[in-house]
Each structure stands twice: as C-alpha cells, then as structure tokens.
C-alpha cells in the first residue's frame, strides 16, 4: 500500500496536523500562564480543532485503515504485532497505565459530559 496519496498518506498528514495543534496549545498555555488572557482563546480554538481531528482520525482508523490491515496481514503477523504492542505498553508506557487512562477518561466524562 503506498504511503503517498492513499489512506496511509492521509493518516500521516493528519498526524502532522495534530502535532501542530498540540504545539499551538502548549504555546498558548505558556502565554496564558504568563498573563496573556487572549492566549486562552487561542488554546481553546486549537483544542477544538484537535478534538475534531482526533474524532475523524479515529473513525478512519477504525473503519478504513484497520479493516485494510486485517485483510492484508497474516494471522502470524497480527499475533506478532499484538506481542510487540504488549511489550511496548509494559516497557515504555508502564504496566497498568492504559487502564489508568481509561479510568481517568470515564471520570472526566462523568464530570464534564
């Protein structure tokens, strides 16, 4: 599958776009903390854009990219990927962090949604 022009290319462009929104939010948060009240609006605008991007991006992953991968990757390759993801979660992210983030998300949803 080509990296340019196809689904992977679109996803990579969105990754770059998402990083830009995060960079803008970080910069705005720093300016707000330094007393620039207008930076709060800039933060909020980039946060809204980032949330919209993530929503669309995740939908594309779930409904386009992952089904393509499932159709093209052998069961052995998928099993190897699953082991690698588990290893990264254990060694890099930290044991139990994934579940901790889910609990935090549930708490935030109850509080703000």
Q: Is 5's pLDDT higher than 80?
A: no
State residue 1's pLDDT score. Answer: 65
Q: State the pTM of this model.
A: 0.74
State whether 58 and 107 are in the same domain.
Answer: no
State whether 47 and 24 are in the same domain.
Answer: yes
Res. 98 pLDDT band, cuts 50 70 90: confident
State whether 49 and 82 are in the same domain.
Answer: no
Q: Which burial class, exposed, middle or buried, applies to 28 when counting CB atoms under 10 A from its CB (0-12, 13-18, 19+)?
A: buried
Q: Is 3's pLDDT higher than 90?
A: no
Q: Give the structural domain span for 103.
A: 75-113
**What is the DSSP-derived secondary structure letter of residue 3?**
S
Structural domain total, the chain:
2
State whether 67 and 79 are in the same domain.
Answer: no
In the three-class reduction of DSSP (H, G, I as helix; E, B as strand; rest coil), residue 5 is classed as: coil
State whether 10 and 27 are in the same domain.
Answer: yes
Using alpha carbons only, what angle is made at residue 80 by residues 74 and 82, rounded to the nearest 5 degrees? 105
């Amino acid at each position: 599958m080509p990296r340019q022009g196809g689904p992977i290319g679109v996803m990579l462009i969105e990754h770059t776009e998402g990083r830009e929104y995060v960079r803008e939010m970080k910069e705005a948060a720093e300016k707000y903390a330094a007393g620039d009240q207008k930076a709060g609006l800039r933060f909020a605008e980039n946060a809204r854009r980032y949330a919209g991007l993530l929503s669309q991006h995740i939908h594309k992953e779930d409904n386009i990219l992952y089904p393509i991968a499932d159709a093209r990757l052998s069961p052995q390759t998928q099993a190897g990927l699953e082991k690698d993801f588990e290893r990264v979660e254990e060694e890099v992210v930290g044991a139990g962090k994934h579940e901790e983030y889910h609990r935090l998300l549930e708490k935030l949803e109850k509080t703000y949604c």
